[in-house]
Amino acid sequence: MTKSLLLAFFALMTLSASAQDFKPFKVNVSLGFARPAGSGAAGGLLVSLEPKYGLMDNLDLGLRIELAAMARSISVNNQNGDVSAKGMGSYLLTGTYYLSKNNFRPYVGLGAGLYSIAGTTVTVVNGQVQDDHDDYKVEASNKFGVMARVGFKAGHFNLGVEYNIVPNSKSDILGQQIDSKNAYLGVKIGVDIGGGRK
C-alpha cells in the first residue's frame, strides 16, 4: 500500500512538472527588515532561504528557513523594558499562490511551523535609577506559529511582505511577570535561483 502511494505521488509530480510553463524547482534567497510588534521594540535585519517546488504554475510548496535579529517588546509587571537585539529563527512549511502566469506575478501565501526564540535580558524602565536588581532573564523557547504573505515576482526578482504570528512568551520569575511579544512583520527583497520559464 505504501509503495503504491509513493509511486502514485511521484507519477503525479512528474506529470504536473511536464505540463507546466515554468521550471518547478527554485530557491529563493532574501534579505530584509524585521519589525517586531509592541511598544519599545526596535527593528532589525532578516535573511531567509526558501527552497520551493511548483506543483502547478500557480502553486509552490516550500520550506522557509529565516533568521531575524531584532529587539522584541518585553514588559516586566506591565512596565516596558529595554532589551538588546537577539535572533529568532523559523522553519516553516509554506504555500504560495501566484495570481497570474505573466512575468509580473502577484502572490499570496501562508506558512506554519516552528519559531526558535533566543533568550535575552531585560532592564525595567520605570523612571528611577536602574541597578543590577532590575535585570531579568527571558529564557529561550520554541513556539508554533503561522505566517501570511503578499508580494509580487517580476522575472526572478521578488518583493514580499510577511506577517509572522507567534504566541507571546510568558514567565514568572520570583513574582515578576515577564511578557515578551514575538510576532513580527518582515519586508524583504530577494531573487529566485531557478524556476524560470521552460
pTM (predicted TM-score): 0.78
Rounded to whole angstroms, how far apart are CA atoms 69 and 66?
10
Amino acid at 30: S
E strand or H helix at 113, and its extent?
A: strand 104-117
Rounded to whole angstroms, how far apart are CA atoms 2 and 184?
40
- What is the average per-residue pLDDT within 78-85? 62
Give SS3 for 40.
coil
Provide the pLDDT confidence category of residue 39 given band limits of 50, 70 and 90.
Answer: confident
Q: Which residue has the higher pLDDT, 96 or 174?
A: 96
Res 25 pLDDT > 90 = yes
pLDDT at residue 198 in the model: 67
**Alpha-carbon dihedral angle through residues 59, 57, 101, 58, given to the nearest 10 degrees:** -10
Rounded to whole angstroms, how far apart are CA atoms 42 and 153?
28
pLDDT at residue 132 in the model: 47
The pLDDT tens digits of the residues spanning 52-69 come to 999 998 999 999 999 999
pLDDT at residue 82 in the model: 57
What domains does the chain contain, in order, with CATH numbers? 2-194 (2.40.160.20)
The pLDDT tens digits of the residues spanning 157-189 come to 999 999 999 998 877 766 667 777 889 999 999
Per the prediction, the chain carries an average pLDDT of: 82
Provide the pLDDT confidence category of residue 19 given band limits of 50, 70 and 90.
Answer: low
Provide the pLDDT confidence category of residue 86 given band limits of 50, 70 and 90.
Answer: confident
91 CB neighbour count, 10 Å cutoff = 14
